[in-house]
Structure 1
Amino acid sequence: MSINLAGALLMMASMACFTLNDTMLKLTAGAVPLFQLLFIRSTITFGLILATRGRLGALHFDIARKDWMIIAVRAGTEILLAYFFLTALFNMPLANLTAILQVVPLAVTLASAVVLRETVGWRRMLAIAVGFCGVLLIVKPGAEGFNVWSLYGVIAMLLVTVRDLVTRKLSPTVPSMTVTLVTAGAVAVAMGLASLGVTWVAIDLLTAALIVGSAVFIMGGYFFSIQVMRSGDVSFTAPFRYTGLIWALLAGWFVFGEWPGVMTLIGAAIVVATGTFSFYRERQLSGG
């Protein structure tokens, strides 16, 4: 197996794990208050990362002060993201939300050009503009099908963009698993404090299994996504992140009986096509 093929398979496995995590959390909707759910899930994830003892990647805390500031900003963004993403997830079809999030690579490219002053040619800028038009087809602003949950999905997409942009500023020596551990801990603390204002409920066996399962699958997503960075050409493997939309369509159909409308599917296809072109163009410019 070539290293690029291995990277593609790892990326698809990562997307499958993240989708399974989303599916399990969506299945708990209404059974547990959101803040209680996030506190429990994040605490389990925190414990699982500690239990690996660095087997999924380096884990140490000898990090420069500048990087600690970046990690703190990233963790704060992740706290907001957890709220907006899960609120949207519980109130709109999984595939629709996943389709909105597929524009993140395009949004990161645009933000890199505007904020980080990275060079982005007119072809990729055009692809970004077309991609955002695809998002408009998905969320349908002003149409009868638009609601506040679609807006929550867009906010989640913007927060993921900010998170990824901030992550780019981290020094290469900062371990990914340390960042993941701190993030999980920060979300657990924030949601634990927020949950003090709500009435906790007893959790039945099925809901507990779903929460534990989501924590395991999100750890799988973290593990595979980290391994992807060590396997193959990133410009080759990156487009395979769009398989997350396929997993979401399958989960939506078989688990929730949901299937997106024609306009949503067209919008998703536009986003995937423009994102793939953007990766292809980046590979050409880098000489790949």
Structure 2
Amino acid sequence: MTEPVLAAHPHTPETSRTRLAAIALMCGAVLCFAMLDASAKWLSASMDPVQVVFARYAGSMALVCLLLNPWSHPGILRTQRPWLQAVRSLLLLGSTLLNFIAVKYLQLAETVSIMFAGPLLVALVSGPLLGEWPGPRRLIAIGVGFVGVLVITRPGFGGMHPAALLSVLGCVCYSFYSLATRKLAAFDPPETTMVYSGVAGTLAMLPLIPFFWTMPQSPLVWLLMLATGVLGGFGHWLLILAHRLAPATVLAPFIYSQIVWMIALGWFAFGQWPDRWTFVGATIVIASGLYLLYRERVRHVPEGSARLD
């Protein structure tokens, strides 16, 4: 007999404190990612997004290598799945590049609302790729969530810049990146995966930089370029710490708090406020994602069954 997921984690004062710490770390991580996107949008006004992506990866790699290196962590570069590490790193790079190009033309709240569809796509493709088949209620929730994406992008109605398609493609890349990360978790520690992400992304961008480089014209631009790397690397480090303290089903709902920061930063830094369709679509997408998390937490999985209900 299989116990419910919730029963596997007794609620003690120590557990509650640990989970509160993990939730705080998760909220700190999404704040870093919101500030990263805002910095990328600001920098894209004076340089090509390719240069911004390079700055994000090079800065992140430098930070990560200071904390995680073969001297302080012997064997950290040892991986059991090098090809999967490479594919995962390129998927993350593709998602970052597409998102940075899109955010140049779209509001911050619009891009993050589209990216929130990532868990819906992960749930949809987990069946054929991982054998985790969604049941009818989860399929309905996934369908409703994708309707929310259509409300945000409004294809064919002229309501949004065509760059929204890049954001959708970035969401697809990020979804497969998430699946690759789940697969790698069974073979390599997260620190190894984090190092490979930074190194692979930086090396992949290096050949492109001579064609897109624009010399920064002020110390503020240099500072923000450095900040993109620090925010990206530090944000992922906070994610690792958070997931060590609490399960993903506890932390995942707080990912959606990022939209609060994105709306606030969009208004404060760029004077942009989402229209009503973005609010409606984001609400639909977030509600669908939260329902999927709810089903994940309360489901009963019979022994020998691979179907998630």
Bin the TM-score by the shorter chain: over 0.9
**1:58–1:285 distance in 2 versus 1, CA, 3 Å:** farther
Residue number among 156, 159, 184 corresponding to 2:170 in the alignment: 156
The amino acid that maps onto 1:83 is: L
Residue number among 77, 85, 98 corresponding to 1:61 in the alignment: 77
Q: CA contact under 8 A between 1:11 and 1:241: conserved in structure 2? A: yes
Q: CA deviation at 1:27?
A: 1.1
Query: What's 1:18 paired with?
Result: 33
Distance 1:171 1:144 in 2: 42
Larger Cα-atom Rg: 2
CA offsets, 1:129-161, max 9 Å, x none? 000000100111111123320100100100101
Q: CA contact under 8 A between 1:85 and 1:156: conserved in structure 2? A: yes
Is structure 2 residue 45 aligned with structure 1 residue 36? no
SS in structure 1 at match of 2:291:
helix
Percent identity between the two aligned chains: 29
Please, what is the CA RMSD of the aligned residues? 2.1
Residue number among 120, 129, 133 corresponding to 1:115 in the alignment: 129
Q: CA deviation at 1:42?
A: 1.4
Distance 1:228 1:57 in 2: 20
Distance 1:230 1:93 in 2: 33
Bigger shift: 171-180 or 231-240?
A: 171-180
**1:199–1:24 distance in 2 versus 1, CA, 3 Å:** closer
CA offsets, 1:41-86, max 9 Å, x none? 311211110111369999712222xx11100111221232222111
Bigger shift: 4-13 or 242-251?
A: 4-13
Stretches of structure 2 lacking an aligned partner (at least 5 in a row) = 1-15, 302-309
Q: CA deviation at 1:208?
A: 0.6
Bigger shift: 224-233 or 194-203?
A: 194-203
Map 1:178-193 → 2, pairs under 5 A:
178-193=192-207
Q: CA deviation at 1:249?
A: 0.9
Residue number among 264, 268, 280 corresponding to 1:250 in the alignment: 264
**1:59–1:271 distance in 2 versus 1, CA, 3 Å:** farther
Distance 2:255 2:217 in 1: 34
Residue number among 32, 38, 42 corresponding to 1:27 in the alignment: 42
**1:58–1:148 distance in 2 versus 1, CA, 3 Å:** farther
The amino acid that maps onto 1:162 is: F
Q: CA contact under 8 A between 2:105 and 2:161: conserved in structure 1? A: no
The amino acid that maps onto 2:251 is: T
Residue number among 91, 95, 100 corresponding to 1:86 in the alignment: 100
Distance 1:49 1:141 in 2: 40
Distance 1:165 1:182 in 2: 16
Scaled by the length of structure 1, the TM-score of the pair is: 0.92
Bigger shift: 236-245 or 200-209?
A: 200-209
Is structure 2 residue 229 aligned with structure 1 residue 215? yes
Query: What's 1:225 paired with?
Result: 239
The amino acid that maps onto 1:193 is: P
Q: CA contact under 8 A between 2:53 and 2:100: conserved in structure 1? A: no
Q: CA deviation at 1:174?
A: 0.9
**1:135–1:196 distance in 2 versus 1, CA, 3 Å:** same
Query: What's 2:10 paired with?
Result: none
